[in-house]
Chains A and B, each alone.
Chain A
Amino acid sequence: MELFRITRNAWGQETLEGISWDLLPVAFGLGIAIIAGHLVWRALRKRSMGKR
């Protein structure tokens, strides 16, 4: 997985083009992970409070 988009110009020099769009699924996955993690924590907390 690339972190950056890099192109070569007519003289073969590397030019930074921006951040790699390979990271788009990573950002989306991180959002899903935060939501899933909180849902699990929330369910466990509710269960432990119910036992008290």
Chain B
Amino acid sequence: MGKAPLLEMKNIKKDFFGNQVLTDINLTLHEGEVVGLVGENGAGKSTLMKILFGADVIRETGGYSGDILINSEKVDFQSPFDAIAAGVGMVHQEFSLIPGFTATENILLNRESKKKSVLSQLFGERMDTLDRPQMDTKAEDSIRKMNVDIDKDMRISKMPVGHRQFTEIARELSKDQLKLLILDEPTAVLTEKEAEALLESIRGMAKRGIAVIFITHRLNEILAVCDKVVTMRDGYVVNESPAKETSVKEITRWMVGREVSGGSAAEKIEDKGADKRTILSIKKLWVDMPGETVRNVNLDVREGEILGIGGLAGQGKLGIPNGIMGLCQAGGQVTFDGQEVDLNNPRKCLDSNFAFVSEDRRGVGLLLDESLEWNISFPAMQVQDKFLKKYFGGLIKWRDDAAIKEVTDKYIDELKIKCRSSKQKAKELSGGNQQKVCLAKAFALEPKLLFVSEPTRGIDVGAKSLVLQALKNSTRKRMLQ
């Protein structure tokens, strides 16, 4: 490696209003190298990447200190556009695609191939007409670079999630100047097969000389594809080692700073299924959820049972809870505790003591702009009149702030939610902690039946085992699914 590194980050420091989140980060990256960046939620991975990508939020919160060098030249990105011009590309956790556009149109968004026309001479280049055939070729090229099969003429809104992710990556790949690609949890929404294809295409990119920073919580993927693993914890880089010389177990220990026992099968629970009565029975359920259609499902759930529904993305496993809870159009017969459940009516479900932790925690799960207290107590307050002080025989209801605080603190403690106080806004927490808030919210309802949809999506090993443990504990106390 005689050549100068492609990227050097030296002594990067960053604080959010006095709260130190990154301390003396050093990172070097060579052409065609794949670096895996791992760490628990809130370890500072995302912040580091935002600095590298020139995100607005970094400048708005006072900038950073330290140097970033690309090809040995110091850079200071004022906006993501500067970063893109310098050859840095980033695929975010959230999709940034236009739903009504085809894959081609999205891949070449704002970089469309154009043809001159008479009017564009008169009115400037925005009046150029689009060169569709050339756009198609370009899009096909970048899709081919990934070795996956995506219909370039399909609208994004009709695509399964995995294909959307690939479209987004294809957009980065179609940029000629791309030298460094940041992938922020690209496999979180992919099925195993799709993830495998993605890893394959990462290898392909590396061969073409593109450096990749790969952030994921699936450590096996890191080992499979990366040259180097960088582990972060609490704003420090705690370890940097070649991927060949390490193992999942080792990385986990660096990440958490302690030994982690896998959340599954830690204790043996005797199967008492046979003598328990069936509490929920689903017959001939169909659910119309975009990308997760459910057809003709029959299921029985017994009291105190935890039932796992697995399956690849797009197979309909998410559709079942969303359908029963009335978030998506559904039909069929669902009986709970001897009574038929009214489908397509979320309120009825909540009234009959169901609770649901949605996979879409930012959209459905949380009131992002409100405090943790509000988030946790809100459904219980709305549905079950909890945390309310009643006057005049229930004519006037006042919020009982003391009780709300008490219950919030209880769950913060129980689920180890990392936050400054119970008054902090939900959007300021990291993904894993937001997930814990969603769980707390459902627990506060003290449900008889709890649907938990993808509770571990996008959260790290430590938080994962905590979440799973919490689910198990609560089952033993109450009746849950």
Q: Do A and B bind each other?
A: no
Contact surface of B with A, Cβ cutoff 8 Å: none
